[in-house]
Structure 1
Amino acid sequence: MDIGELRQDVEQMRDLLVKATRSRVKDIIGVELRKLEHEVSRLEKAAADPVSSTEVPQKKPRPQIQTQTITNYAWDQSDKFMKIYVTIKGVHSLPKERVTCEFGKRSFRLQVEEEENKRRSELYISTLLEDINPEESWYKLKTDTVLLMLKKSTTGKTWPYVTSGEKAKKAKEDNEKKPKMDDDKDPNDSLMEMMKKMYDEGDDDMKRTIAQAWTQSKDKKGGP
């Protein structure tokens, strides 16, 4: 709209405001007059500085937060809870809103913003060994430690591991330690080697069991 026309409208509106006698009419005219005056002022400013009026405000870039993955933690358990202990120096002194933990049925994600908008530590476990109750799980801050209380879905059940990955890893290690039969050797020789290996690596009960089995085997064969 032409700024000259707007100025004329403003003048006429001011005349009407002076001539009006009813308060309601004056209020209505006053509101419209202020709108016109504001528009005139905006156009005058734009005409005086056309560059700044077209500039688009630049958004400030969001700070990049460096995330460090937590790999070490300690754990304990009771009949009702799995307890996860995460050591982070000075965590007890941080504002509460900078320490958060989300619980899932078989997962949790702990995030600690150690330096605001700069550095964050995170412990994320997505494959807990057993189900937990997210609504009844919680955490609290202790000196240099975050304690996570994971409410067991099955009370009284003992967890031998924290995650299913740890269970699978232990099973694989145990399987690799088992002596294996050599298909290229005589079956009896392979069996003797396997039993000797089990005897050398076994505990006292295992040694007694294997020795007894050897003795019985020799007696049946009539060996010395």
Structure 2
Amino acid sequence: MALEQLKSDVAEFAALLAEAKSARVKGVLTAGKAEAEREIVNLEIKARLAAERAAAGTGDAKRYLVELTDYGWDQSPKFVKLFITLDSVQSCSEDNVTVNYTENSLQLHVRDLKGKDYGLSVNNLLHAIDVEKSYRKIKTDMVAIYLKKANEGQNWDVLTSIQKRLKQKQDSEMVKDNDNPESALVNIMKKMYNDGDSKTKQMIAKAWTESQEKAKFGKEMGGMDTLGDV
């Protein structure tokens, strides 16, 4: 999607949010606005990286850029740690693995790994980081990024503010169902299913199927579609 169209979408989401009354509608609009903002940042970063590669020479400009999206993360009282799996990255020179930090974002760029470039962008970090004290390490098949917390001891329940908004939206929907235990149970199982790994999803699907069979003469609670995307 074109950058200008995305910016127009963000402006429209903001205008609709100002008029929205329902908590559910506000949640949907907030999620849509956050997603459009994320796409804008990613497009801008891609354009910047492409310009840098072109300026570096024809060899860099011709290499294919792979956008990384998967990573794990953890935290200690002082650091938030990201772990990006990348096969044979230890063969790269130190100069070819760079991370650009701002107070609330990071961009990893790995140059010329088996003839390709790799990039990872994480924007809208939940809390501020200390840019000067953040760093990265190259390990076997992995890049580890250490983000120094600006406020030591502060707990990050999620990594980004966008994830925080979406989590709050999910939680608010569950709260609204407190007066309907059956509906609340459905939402709890849905949240566990969507947040769980493949094994957890299999267990929940099995439990749901068995409960449906046992309650076939009771009140209908809905099919597996209620759990969202399988």
> TM-score w.r.t. structure 1 length?
0.52
Q: Distance in 1 between matches of 2:157 and 2:112?
A: 32
Q: Distance in 1 between matches of 2:122 and 2:164?
A: 14
The structure 1 residue matched to 2:183, chosen from 197, 203, 210, is 197
Q: Distance in 2 between matches of 1:159 and 1:140?
A: 22
Partner of 1:127: 124
- Quote the sequence identity (%): 30
CA-based RMSD: 2.7
Partner of 2:98: 100
Q: Distance in 1 between matches of 2:66 and 2:96?
A: 15
Q: How does 1:1-224 map to 2 (within 5 A)?
A: 63-115=61-113, 118-179=115-176, 194-198=180-184
Deviation, 1:165, is: 1.1
Q: Distance in 2 between matches of 1:65 and 1:201?
A: 46
Q: Distance in 2 between matches of 1:169 and 1:161?
A: 10
Q: Distance in 2 between matches of 1:87 and 1:199?
A: 36
- Matched AA of 1:162: L
Deviation, 1:61, is: 5.1
Secondary structure of residue in 1 paired with 2:70? coil
Determine if contact 1:88/1:144 at 8 Å carries over to the other structure: yes
Once the two structures are superposed, what CA deviation does each residue of 1:34-88 show, in whole Å capped at 9, x if it has no partner? xxxxxxxxxxxxxxxxxxxxxxxxxx95632321111110011000000000000
Paired residues, what number?
A: 132
Q: Distance in 1 between matches of 2:185 and 2:162?
A: 30
- Matched AA of 2:153: G
Q: Distance in 1 between matches of 2:124 and 2:102?
A: 10
Q: Distance in 1 between matches of 2:94 and 2:121?
A: 19
> TM-score w.r.t. structure 2 length?
0.51
Determine if contact 2:177/2:183 at 8 Å carries over to the other structure: no
Larger Rg: 1
Determine if contact 1:179/1:197 at 8 Å carries over to the other structure: no
Q: Distance in 2 between matches of 1:171 and 1:146?
A: 31
Segments of structure 2 that go 5 or more residues without pairing to the other structure are 1-56, 190-230
Determine if contact 1:91/1:114 at 8 Å carries over to the other structure: no
Q: Distance in 1 between matches of 2:93 and 2:70?
A: 23
Determine if contact 1:82/1:151 at 8 Å carries over to the other structure: yes
Partner of 1:45: none
Deviation, 1:198, is: 3.5
Residues 199, 104 of structure 1: CA spacing in aligned structure 2 closer, same or farther, 3 A cutoff?
A: closer
Residues 169, 201 of structure 1: CA spacing in aligned structure 2 closer, same or farther, 3 A cutoff?
A: closer
- Matched AA of 1:96: E
Segments of structure 1 that go 5 or more residues without pairing to the other structure are 1-59, 182-190, 204-224
Residues 197, 65 of structure 1: CA spacing in aligned structure 2 closer, same or farther, 3 A cutoff?
A: same
Deviation, 1:202, is: 6.8
